[in-house]
Amino acid sequence: MVIVYNDKLIPTEVISSKIYIIRGQKIMLDRDLASLYDVETRVLNQAVRRNLESFPDDFLISLNREEINNLSQIVISSNLKHAPNVFAFTEHGILMLSSVLKSKRAKLVNIQIMRTFVKLRQFLSTHEEMKLKLEEHDYKITSLVETVTQLLEPRLEEPKRKIGFIVKE
């Protein structure tokens, strides 16, 4: 069930909770998208099958049994584990869905989904920059600690050489 919030269709948090990483790509499942578009999953999948030429491999991933089983442990859906096939859509595939479904709701939902993907990218970018800065500071702090440790260690004094001539007997 989709809830409308003051002219905003779906909060970013709801959409971002439905984004998973499969094969190194951020995806959304056909079931979650169907729920957001307020259509049945089979209707969404039929529209996709009728327009398969619009969904190349980098837009649409047909999950294998192992991936479905792994996802079913994360996703709370009793139907997912037993589904004969599950489609996963990348960001570009989701964009293509609005043209395939051709409803006003699909277009509005896609706008909100794209905004969520943008926010997610911005967050990850900021997170990566922060990680790099922390690593740089960590290196500098480690160097500083090593230098201070060396300065604080007592130095063993070498015996002083005597000045003058040494007469050997």
Domains assigned to the chain: 12-128 (3.10.260)
Is the overall model pTM greater than 0.75, yes or no?
A: no
Q: Look at the block and give the residue holding tokens 């409308």.
A: 4
Instruction: Please report the beta strands in the chain, taking only residues with DSSP state E, as ranges in sequence order.
Output: 19-22, 25-29, 60-62, 87-89
pLDDT tens sequence across 14-69: 888 888 888 888 888 988 888 888 889 888 999 999 999 989 989 998 888 888 77
3-class SS letters over 56-102:
CCCCEEECCHHHHHHHHHHCCCCCCCCCCCCEEECHHHHHHHHHHHC
